[in-house]
Structure 1
Amino acid sequence: MPTSNDMQKVLDIQDKNIIFEDHCISYGIHKQKKCKFIDCTLTYIPTECKKCQTSNKAYTIIKNGTQTSRITFPMTGIYPTYLRVKKQRFKCKACEATFTAETPIVKEHCFISNFIKAEILMKSADARSIKSLSEETNVSHATIQRIINEKAKEYRPYYHSLPENLSFDEFKYGEGQMAFEYINVVSGTIVDILESKDTRTIKNHFRSRYSQKQRSQVKTITTDMNASYVSFIPELFPNADIIIDRFHFVQLVNRSMNKTRVKVMNRLRTSNGEDQKKYRRLKRFWKKLLKKESAVSYTAYQYFPLFGQRLEAAIISEMLAYDSELKETYRVYQALLKAVEHNDSKQLGQLLDQSTSPELSGYMKTSLKTLRAHFPHIQNTFYYPYNNGKIEGINNKIKVLNRVAYGYRNFIHYKNRIILHFNLKPVRNKLNTIEKGGECTAA
């Protein structure tokens, strides 16, 4: 049978005051579930009274019976595991007070072990629902959320300073509600998350949390083409350059090009056989028209359904010949992509000013009008190395958290989960790397 020392190693218990005896493991029913119970005794000789701090000399403190506590422990095997600890009670002759023996594996007046709390925090770094964490750790949903909320307090911003380079964006939560977040664009660290993205909330937040001097030290702010952000940034951050991320620029013209293709395609949806053929081609090979011209093949022959053995460039030219509006829009689209690819802000400015052809689609004209309005800020994307890539990646992970949880009704709970996810994930990955390195070394 296992000795006390063996059980301590199996359960990772470092407290030598906890003693296990033979036949300490038994099975029973708790909360209508079959469980595993591990019995042990916690006893030691205290050095002083917990209440009056009187030193334990000449038997000032005596033993006064025991008290059994059922402590939730990490699952060992396939059954929920509980540690039944028979804690020694003590009585002080000096103050007549009584107290119970303590152990570092669990806090005073608590019946959930610190091992369980650590397991909850480490697993909360993954994109998992509270329900799945509850089932694995054998504690309630409310307990898990309380542990997450308590830990998240350690990562609350102190609003002492702002990074020199910020990035703004928003994400959806709840029933169509939008939250605002801003991060350090260099490190990718979340600075804070606000419950609403309206201008009034954001302006009140920055004015109340940060002084004018702190806000004046911000040099750049990377954002999308949200007009409300562009309107209040100069007011809050007088020395900051606004950077319109090139991803949103490309996304805007890409959508305009695709809408133009759909418009022309639907125009060809007639009873005429030749038009039907053109319609099917435009519908099937829509990605070819959105592809960058520099990535199109001009030398390799391939077989394309509805076309036969052709060059990729040839089938694009044939589809563009179906409609002059589609052809002109494609020409402007490719010119814009080329200017961005080569970081040519001068060429981009000329394209935005000159692209007024009557054959250009209305979708692209609207996009060009938007780009002309934001052109001074779009130019900054060519001069600075910053973009919205990190904050967009953060938003994708935030959406995954929301999806696996089937939504959050309480924004504070959602925010705390996000904060822990992004702060504990690197720590967990580092620990896993160290453990794997140790195993490799041992091998």
Structure 2
Amino acid sequence: MSTCNDIRNLIDIQDENITFLPGCVTYGEYKGKPCKYISGELTYEPTHCTKCGIKNENYIIFKNGKQESRITLPMIGIARSFLKLKKQRFFCKACQCSLTAKTSIIEKNCHISNQSKAMIVIKSTEARSVKSLSNDCSVSWHTVQREINKVAQSTKSHHQALPENLSFDEFKYAKGLMAFEYINAETGDILDILGARTSRIIKNHFISNYSLNDRRHVKTITIDMNAGYVNVIKEIFPRASIIIDRFHLVQLINRAMTKTRIKVMNRLKRVNNEDMKKYRRLKKYWRLLQKNELKLKTTEYTYYPLFGQRLEKSIVEEMLAYDPELKANYQLYQRLLKAINMRQFETLKVILEERSSPLISSYMRTSLKTLRKHLPYIKNSFIYPYNNGRIEGINNKIKVLSKVAYGYRNFYNYKKRIMIHFKFKPIETNLIKKSRYKVA
């Protein structure tokens, strides 16, 4: 009876010693759930005894029955799939030992195929929970975590050398706990993740893993306005220029403007119908007050509820006329925004050194004080092209990973999953090819 090569291609088996006969696919149950069984046979003529090493001459090794094993395969269709493989047994006359035929589709003393393990690694690069991965791959969640741990060893940081441009940031991984990460600012590669962001832990990490010469090699480090990072960088990176991310500068004054608008808006929340109308307008069209005034539409009329057919610029001018404090803070906000966007450091410096008007809110005064404190590092952000855009994007993906997994109790398991998610995604095809030719 001829063998069926289509089955071998379907389940991606490259071992030619395994044969399948027509009608080898049957349906049954496993642990009360429907499944699919594929029956096959593994046999060949051994060249030597794997126990004593003697060559197979003059029939010193002969066939001695078969042993059936159940091997877990990747799911085919909607049912779990298993390979019922009858392995040839051999007996060696020289050492009086029994041998079992070996195959490259599984490792020794294992019933999970290499294809299933490769599928676990491929799917673990997606933002999915471990339980979801175990269901898709027809294995337990312990097996999924074990394979993640095994593959994560190849992503382990070796701390060989530091790039010239770094980027620091943190993310929340549990209630009240923050993790610290640093990446290559040019390529976006994650270099390492620490379980805390305290100055002591960060300092000990860099001093113990990198020599002083390596740390002197670093030219720039991009951070947000976390004062703790500034002190640590000065101590362990003597030649690095600190860059304050421009996004956080805009965010700082943007929030100050928002709080000022809310303060003015709440003052107008009265019984008076005219004041209530102003309140509703400020609440509904807050985005126009946050928008760069150079981008406001000045020629295109549009219908706006509560205003009618108007220009964006005229709407902003009318809302600013409601309160002198709102107008003063808006004008200062726009001056700061223009200086930051145009990278005009001297202009920004002049604005910060000016004596503040009594109409400037306490929120905006606090923001100005913070900007003056970080002024030397803000200057670097205007000189160098680096920012925290890459690391902020990485953090967003990390947060999605945490949400779909419903959080991680173990930080090191979380770190391994992050490393696999970011470092193994481009080589999924290589993982599939490697699993085909993996020798047990």
TM-score by length of 1: 0.95
* Distance (whole Å) between structure 2 residues aligned to residue 417 and residue 386 of structure 1: 27
- Tell me the equivalent position of 2:105: 105
* Distance (whole Å) between structure 1 residues aligned to residue 33 and residue 355 of structure 2: 72
* Distance (whole Å) between structure 2 residues aligned to residue 426 and residue 142 of structure 1: 25
**1:131 equivalenced with 2:131 (yes/no):** yes
- Count residues in correspondence: 432
Give matches, 1:42-53, under 5 Å: 42-53=42-53
Give matches, 1:37-436, under 5 Å: 37-354=37-354, 356-428=356-428
CA contact (8 A) 1:37 1:81 kept: yes
* Distance (whole Å) between structure 1 residues aligned to residue 240 and residue 355 of structure 2: 31
**Post-superposition shift, 1:6?**
2.2
**Post-superposition shift, 1:176?**
2.5
- Tell me the equivalent position of 2:437: none
Q: Per-residue displacement from partner, 1:163-186 (whole Å, max 9, x unpaired)?
A: 111100000112221100000010
* Change beyond 3 A, Cα 1:291–1:347: same
* Distance (whole Å) between structure 2 residues aligned to residue 51 and residue 354 of structure 1: 87
**Post-superposition shift, 1:215?**
1.0
**Which stretches in structure 2 are left out of the alignment for 5+ residues?**
433-440
Q: Secondary structure at the match of 1:144?
A: helix
* Distance (whole Å) between structure 2 residues aligned to residue 372 and residue 380 of structure 1: 14
Q: Secondary structure at the match of 1:8?
A: helix
Q: Secondary structure at the match of 1:149?
A: helix
**Post-superposition shift, 1:390?**
0.3
* Change beyond 3 A, Cα 1:277–1:32: same
**Post-superposition shift, 1:27?**
1.5
CA contact (8 A) 2:152 2:420 kept: yes
* Distance (whole Å) between structure 2 residues aligned to residue 354 and residue 431 of structure 1: 61
**Post-superposition shift, 1:78?**
1.6
Q: Secondary structure at the match of 1:343?
A: coil
Q: Secondary structure at the match of 1:48?
A: coil
Quick one: percent identity of the two aligned structures? 57
* Distance (whole Å) between structure 1 residues aligned to residue 91 and residue 181 of structure 2: 55
* Distance (whole Å) between structure 2 residues aligned to residue 102 and residue 258 of structure 1: 69
**Post-superposition shift, 1:256?**
0.3
* Alignment-mate amino acid for residue 318 of structure 1: E
* Change beyond 3 A, Cα 1:87–1:304: same
* Distance (whole Å) between structure 2 residues aligned to residue 305 and residue 431 of structure 1: 57
CA contact (8 A) 1:161 1:210 kept: yes
**Post-superposition shift, 1:429?**
8.4
CA contact (8 A) 2:122 2:431 kept: no
CA contact (8 A) 2:118 2:431 kept: no
Q: Per-residue displacement from partner, 1:376-409 (whole Å, max 9, x unpaired)?
A: 0111111111100000000000000000001011
TM-score by length of 2: 0.95
Q: Secondary structure at the match of 2:38?
A: strand
Q: Per-residue displacement from partner, 1:117-176 (whole Å, max 9, x unpaired)?
A: 111111111111111111111100111011011001111111111111110000011222
CA contact (8 A) 2:181 2:192 kept: yes
* Distance (whole Å) between structure 1 residues aligned to residue 132 and residue 39 of structure 2: 28
* Alignment-mate amino acid for residue 371 of structure 2: L
* Distance (whole Å) between structure 2 residues aligned to residue 128 and residue 356 of structure 1: 51
* Alignment-mate amino acid for residue 244 of structure 1: I
